[in-house]
Chains A and B, each alone.
Chain A
Amino acid sequence: MTTLPQSTHKKLGLAIDLDICVGCHACVINCKEWNTSNYGAPLSDQDAYGAEPVGTFLNRIHTFEVKAADKPAQTVHFPKSCLHCDDAPCVTVCPTGASYKRADDGIVLVNESDCIGCGLCAWACPYGARELDAAEGVMKKCTLCVDRIYNENLPEIDREPACVRTCPANARHFGDYADPDSNVSRMAAERGAVPLFPEQGTSPVNRYLPPRPKADIQTDGDIDILAPFLDTSGNGNTASGTSSTSAKGLLGWLDKALEAI
């Protein structure tokens, strides 16, 4: 068992916008690409060109359908990585102290040299956000790119997680939830962001910005703009009536319209 810090100065995390995520997997692969060559052991791939390829990823996208009565079915793309919980059960369950939450910024990390690969943390995590690397035998997880966000060898503008920097749809944002004026705090407030599975009691830091209501209007009403001309009743007294009257209707109108130019 391992203790969490009493509190953290910052609460660094991600705001993920489900309204614009198109499920392109850019974040998944750029994360893999950065992290396989940086913090800790590589993210290995087993049977890489074989029958059952399986590798370690710190971020994955789940795609599913939402079906509601009287609405077209909706496809939802849901990116998921460690949520850097305030009450991280993956830390408290760790038998060696390898899993820990940083006191200064709240990032949950694994000290790989102390990790025995027992997998308890992955079992304790309600989000399935940790993956045991099969080659190294240690637990891998999102580091919020701790080796990027403070990295003085990177231009300041690039000091953000790889997934955020690469996201083509700008669906991922990085910031400090402890600061109510931060980009992510403001975004979360404006968009009514929700924590994931709050009933699990983990107090996740990352937030998901819900999809904005879709139009998907099935009962069409507002067609005012065309009303003077559209003949929805089919009585043929406007431009779009029968084929013979409609062209005439338009051409009569045209004469006046051209005079006005």
Chain B
Amino acid sequence: MNKHIQPDLDTSPKVSDEIRKTTCYMCACRCGINVHMQDGKVKYIEGNRDHPINRGVLCAKGSAGIMQHYSPARLKAPMKRVGPRGSGEFEEISWDEAFQIASDWMTPLREKHPEKLAFFTGRDQSQSLTSYWAQQFGTPNYAAHGGFCSVNMAAAGIYTMGGAFWEFGQPDWERAKMFMIFGVAEDHDSNPIKLGLSRLKERGAKIVGVNPVRSGYNAIADEWVGITPGTDGLFILSLIRELLAAGKVDLEYLIRYTNAPYLVNCDPESDDHGLFLYDNDGKPQVLDRATGEPLPFDQQGVKPELATNYTHKGTLYRPAFQLMAEKYLVDDYAPENVAERTGVKPDTIRRLAAELARTAFEEEIVINQPWTDFRGEKHDEMIGRPVAFHAMRGISAHSNGFQTCRALHLLQILLGSVEVPGGFRFKPPYPKPVTGHPRPHAKPVANSPLNGPHLGFPQGPEDLAIKANGTPARIDKAFTWENPMSAHGMMHMVISNAHAGDPYKIDTLFMYMANMSWNSSMNSRGVMDMLTDKTEDGEYVIPRIIYSDSYSSEMVAFADLILPDTTYLERHDCISLLDRPISEAEAMCDSIRWPVVEPDRDVRGFQSALIQLGAKMKLPGFVNEDGAAKYQDYADYIVNHERRPGVGPLAGWRGEDETGSGRGAPNPNQIDRYIENGGFYMDHIPEEALFYKPWNKAYQDWAVERGIFDAPSPYTFNIYVEQMQKFRLAAEGKGELQPPDHLREQLKMAMDPLPTWWQPFEEALVDGEEYPIHALTQRPAAMYHSWGSQNAWLRQIHGHNPLYVSGEIWEQHGFEEGDWAYLKSHHGEIQVPVVRMDALNPKTVWTWNAIGKRKGAWALDQDAPETKKGFLLNHLIHELLPPKGDGLRWSNSDPVTGQAAWYDLRVNIRKAPTPDNLQSEPAIAPQKSPVGQGPKNIRYGEDF
């Protein structure tokens, strides 16, 4: 027997030489990180305890940053293609040569046809710069990835309530007593949601998860509603019906803060049918109960009617609230009548409505904090309705997603739970009225900047991006009658439309950080064919492709010119209030990245490269009057660029005395001040301004001081979206701007100014008996789209992705452990391994998103599990709907915003033989790796 021997241990070893604080980029969450450096290498990355987003915690992705930073898949230098497109054969070149090639391709386009450049960026968060660059170039063809991500969520939020979930707002985790989370796996805001769920649990709040799949957050929810995909809108409208029927809505809130009392023209013959009654000052009118007269909505002391018939100059008007009540108090939305479609029992719907009502109204929160509203009325306290909601891509990525997101916001508003204690709260620079955003601009003029920002929020048909000849002005057909409110553009249609020359041909496709030949496209194989397709004279149909990425992704193989980006630890970035903010409900915040490690390769941050390319091409805004470069690089731009006088990319430490918050002259020491402060800036909102922000005078004044607005911008929430009705009026034949006839019926249905639900398009077009099953993907918590598979640690968690099959389907088809299946849609068929899962909607199968890889990509072995068993559902999803027989190309998108309808997919399943080589199908031919393959074994940390 060995005796108990206890060696002497050094329990206080050196931790690191130095901590450098920057911002994570292992996903889009944007947490603060402490990067421990030793001997010039990254030793350890932990969460920054002071940071507003993550308060010290860090997820698996963030903790695996070392493996991403030192990934063998990092690109090393600029490259030009030497083999055929798609082969992956490249030759390294200098940056000078790369810029020369890019300039030689693009400068002539600008001189004649700026629209021949299509510039689309992916998941970067530098849209404030990239859109500015595209605007200076003059092409109308610019957008980021929002169209294939969650534009329905963002646009529905902004049109309805002047802000949306995640970047624009958050649940009141500290006060909510009931929380419903719809369609969220791990897309966005991952650490704040986990922190928040934990706080809710600590306080004994009830969590309800609405999701076909009981993974992650739904696994710990107190109640799981395993809804059938695409029916969330119907479920929510049924909850709304029950609440309205019971009178459990917050009337005072609706009267004060929404357009519920606005008088709506109810004469179907009128040219203004469905529009509001305005006075001569352009103010919407409400009917005052005291006087029986119409008065401006914002008049102090007005007591509006919510249900009445009022005739004004011979035209009948009724309040929006009444139209809403009549729309939802019908049998169509009765729990019994939605139960079969949604898969949610009528009693469950009724009980959840009751629980929402009880929590909102019987557990009201009162904060003794006086405040003054925009009408000038003083209030002694702040009343809270402690029911909070969150949702993301699961309800958004359907062809009925916009209206579903609208329905959810309507539910929040009816309960009086937006911008109140315990409910949902905006984060600066939100709230912001939809009318305060730019409108779309799409008129190119040779050798000139575009006439305004590309993306925006149309207020009516006059804002559509349609040329005089009636054809779409943009290559992605955003802002057309097919999808009028496509506020984020439609990146998923760019390659398909450019290949089809519909609406016109382009010359150069310039993309950044979007794996469009693979997991970020529908119909991935078809897209690869489009990218490599040639004309009769042997030229590529899409003549030139420039692509920037940090890593050897699948898309790299399809580019003619590669601009290699840095890793996230090697770059400058700003997470700007001009872009996608990181603020909290109680503070205005922004942050930076800075090179905590210098690149050891010939790579440049894409934003710096873009600025330098802009200067080389002498784009306005990027050169001084003498033609010299205005900014050396992105850091220079971040500090010195001013969007309006005194307002630039970063809010903190502005001005000569470095005390400016939001406003102030550029400060050359600004980035140093950020670094000293841990990489971020935070300015707290005063107590009086913490709630009711859209209507709170103190908040509005505070926001003006900080440059968020130039004048106070209070507004009311839109339970009724008048802008949508304007498109419907056009569809009815009214007004000068008219849609093509084949779109009239779709517009009448889709542009309903009150939330509505329709059957998802693919489901309506395919034979439901032939394709009875829904198929989905979810993002795992430990992976961010395609990036994770190059990560030696993360790929050990999610190295391949089985198809999870519900117990019901499993039994029905007699599957057994280890089986494979054919999964077939109207567009294609795949052969994949299956696994049983019972915590799943019975009509649904699903898999993890973006695990499957093309052989040769990401510096992986050609036999890596990601390329063998791993697969993409994308092969089954087409960017176009099944043909309707009218010869038209109908995009597989939401008809309001154009959001890609990923989750409308319908399939059938049958047993397949287990392949001898365990290779999923389709197997795509390998691409050559421009970076070789990763090392066999690693022992990270042996140097320390």
Binding site for B on A (CB under 8 A): 1-5, 19-26, 28-30, 32-34, 36-38, 41-55, 57, 65, 67, 72-77, 94-97, 100-103, 109, 111, 135-136, 146-147, 149-154, 157-158, 162, 165-171, 211-212, 214-226, 228-232, 238-240, 242-243, 246-247, 249-251, 253-255, 257-258, 261
In the complex, A72 Cα to B221 Cα: how many Å?
12
| Given A73-B214, A226-B357: A24 and B793 interface contact (C-beta under 8 Å) | no
At the interface, yes or no: B247 with Cβ under 8 Å from chain A? yes
Question: Could you show 10 A-B contacts with beta carbons less than 8 Å apart?
Answer: A24-B216, A37-B941, A49-B933, A52-B865, A53-B864, A65-B839, A229-B246, A230-B350, A240-B242, A240-B329
B residues less than 8 Å from A230 (CB atoms)? 242, 245-246, 350, 354
Q: How far is the CB of A183 from chain B (nearest CB, A)?
A: 13
A residues less than 8 Å from B11 (CB atoms)? 146-147, 149-151
B354 with A223: CB separation less than 8 A: yes
Q: How far is the CB of A34 from chain B (nearest CB, A)?
A: 6
Across the interface, A229 reaches (CB within 8 A) one of B226, B245, B839, namely B245
- Beyond known contacts A102-B6, A170-B195, A240-B245: 5 more, CB 8 A cutoff: A36-B941, A48-B936, A50-B863, A75-B218, A258-B303
B residues less than 8 Å from A169 (CB atoms)? 194-195, 197-198, 220
A251 with B322: CB separation less than 8 A: yes
Q: How far is the CB of B788 from chain A (nearest CB, A)?
A: 11
Stretch at the interface among B52-60, B126-134, B586-594: B52-60
Q: How far is the CB of A174 from chain B (nearest CB, A)?
A: 14
Most buried by A among B13, B245, B933: B245
A residues less than 8 Å from B863 (CB atoms)? 50-51
B195 with A168: CB separation less than 8 A: yes
In the complex, A135 Cα to B838 Cα: how many Å?
39
Q: How far is the CB of A40 from chain B (nearest CB, A)?
A: 10
Q: How far is the CB of A76 from chain B (nearest CB, A)?
A: 7
In the complex, A74 Cα to B840 Cα: how many Å?
9
Q: How far is the CB of A198 from chain B (nearest CB, A)?
A: 24
Stretch at the interface among B248-256, B267-275, B460-468, B627-635: B248-256
B307 to chain A: closest residue by CB: A251
A220 with B350: CB separation less than 8 A: yes
| Given A28-B60, A53-B796: A94 and B2 interface contact (C-beta under 8 Å) | yes
At the interface, yes or no: B598 with Cβ under 8 Å from chain A? no
| Given A37-B941, A50-B863, A217-B223: A65 and B837 interface contact (C-beta under 8 Å) | yes
Tally of A-B Cβ pairs under 8 angstroms: 347
At the interface, yes or no: B326 with Cβ under 8 Å from chain A? yes
Binding site for A on B (CB under 8 A): 1-7, 9-15, 38, 43-47, 49, 54, 56-64, 66, 72, 186, 190-191, 194-195, 197-198, 201-202, 206, 214-224, 226, 241-242, 244-248, 251-252, 255, 289, 303, 305-307, 322, 325-326, 329-331, 334, 345, 347-348, 350-351, 353-354, 357-358, 362, 781-782, 790, 792-797, 799, 807, 837-840, 859-861, 863-865, 868, 933-942, 944
B residues less than 8 Å from A216 (CB atoms)? 222-224
B864 with A49: CB separation less than 8 A: yes
A residues less than 8 Å from B10 (CB atoms)? 147
| Given A20-B198, A157-B49, A217-B223: A48 and B934 interface contact (C-beta under 8 Å) | yes
B942 with A28: CB separation less than 8 A: no
B244 to chain A: closest residue by CB: A250
A226 with B13: CB separation less than 8 A: no
| Given A74-B219, A171-B198, A217-B351: A42 and B2 interface contact (C-beta under 8 Å) | no
In the complex, A33 Cα to B70 Cα: how many Å?
13
A residues less than 8 Å from B782 (CB atoms)? 24-25, 29
| Given A22-B194, A239-B246: A42 and B241 interface contact (C-beta under 8 Å) | no
B residues less than 8 Å from A19 (CB atoms)? 201, 220
In the complex, A240 Cα to B350 Cα: how many Å?
12
| Given A50-B863, A168-B57, A250-B245: A225 and B351 interface contact (C-beta under 8 Å) | no
B58 with A215: CB separation less than 8 A: no
B942 with A29: CB separation less than 8 A: no
Closest 3 CB pairs of A and B: A49-B934, A240-B245, A37-B941
A residues less than 8 Å from B793 (CB atoms)? 29, 32-33, 45, 55
B residues less than 8 Å from A228 (CB atoms)? 246
A residues less than 8 Å from B54 (CB atoms)? 168
In the complex, A177 Cα to B130 Cα: how many Å?
55
In the complex, A57 Cα to B797 Cα: how many Å?
11
Q: How far is the CB of B213 from chain A (nearest CB, A)?
A: 9
In the complex, A75 Cα to B265 Cα: how many Å?
51
Across the interface, A214 reaches (CB within 8 A) one of B7, B223, B307, namely B223
A residues less than 8 Å from B353 (CB atoms)? 226
B305 with A30: CB separation less than 8 A: no
In the complex, A101 Cα to B7 Cα: how many Å?
11
In the complex, A50 Cα to B751 Cα: how many Å?
51
Q: How far is the CB of B299 from chain A (nearest CB, A)?
A: 16
In the complex, A232 Cα to B72 Cα: how many Å?
63
A111 with B781: CB separation less than 8 A: no
Across the interface, B245 reaches (CB within 8 A) one of A47, A52, A217, A249, namely A249
A153 with B46: CB separation less than 8 A: no
A166 with B57: CB separation less than 8 A: yes
A3 with B15: CB separation less than 8 A: no
In the complex, A146 Cα to B12 Cα: how many Å?
9
B residues less than 8 Å from A246 (CB atoms)? 245, 329-330
In the complex, A248 Cα to B19 Cα: how many Å?
67
B2 with A2: CB separation less than 8 A: yes
| Given A50-B864, A240-B329: A26 and B60 interface contact (C-beta under 8 Å) | yes
| Given A53-B796, A168-B59, A214-B222: A22 and B781 interface contact (C-beta under 8 Å) | yes
A151 with B60: CB separation less than 8 A: no
B57 with A26: CB separation less than 8 A: yes
B348 with A220: CB separation less than 8 A: yes
Q: How far is the CB of A163 from chain B (nearest CB, A)?
A: 10
B residues less than 8 Å from A46 (CB atoms)? 936-937
Most buried by A among B59, B63, B241, B794: B63
| Given A220-B351, A222-B351, A243-B330: A34 and B44 interface contact (C-beta under 8 Å) | yes
A52 to chain B: closest residue by CB: B865
A residues less than 8 Å from B859 (CB atoms)? 49
B191 with A168: CB separation less than 8 A: yes
Q: How far is the CB of A210 from chain B (nearest CB, A)?
A: 12
| Given A25-B781, A53-B796, A170-B198: A75 and B861 interface contact (C-beta under 8 Å) | no
Q: How far is the CB of B197 from chain A (nearest CB, A)?
A: 6
In the complex, A54 Cα to B793 Cα: how many Å?
9
A residues less than 8 Å from B330 (CB atoms)? 243, 246
Across the interface, A150 reaches (CB within 8 A) one of B12, B348, B795, namely B12
A residues less than 8 Å from B226 (CB atoms)? 72
B residues less than 8 Å from A20 (CB atoms)? 197-198, 201, 220
Q: How far is the CB of A217 from chain B (nearest CB, A)?
A: 7
Q: How far is the CB of B919 from chain A (nearest CB, A)?
A: 12
B215 to chain A: closest residue by CB: A75
A24 with B781: CB separation less than 8 A: yes
A residues less than 8 Å from B44 (CB atoms)? 33-34, 37
Across the interface, A153 reaches (CB within 8 A) one of B14, B206, B251, namely B14
A51 to chain B: closest residue by CB: B863
A97 with B289: CB separation less than 8 A: no
Q: How far is the CB of A191 from chain B (nearest CB, A)?
A: 11
A253 with B247: CB separation less than 8 A: yes
A residues less than 8 Å from B334 (CB atoms)? 240
Q: How far is the CB of B550 from chain A (nearest CB, A)?
A: 17
In the complex, A220 Cα to B223 Cα: how many Å?
12
A261 with B255: CB separation less than 8 A: yes
B residues less than 8 Å from A43 (CB atoms)? 941
| Given A49-B72, A55-B793, A253-B247: A29 and B307 interface contact (C-beta under 8 Å) | no
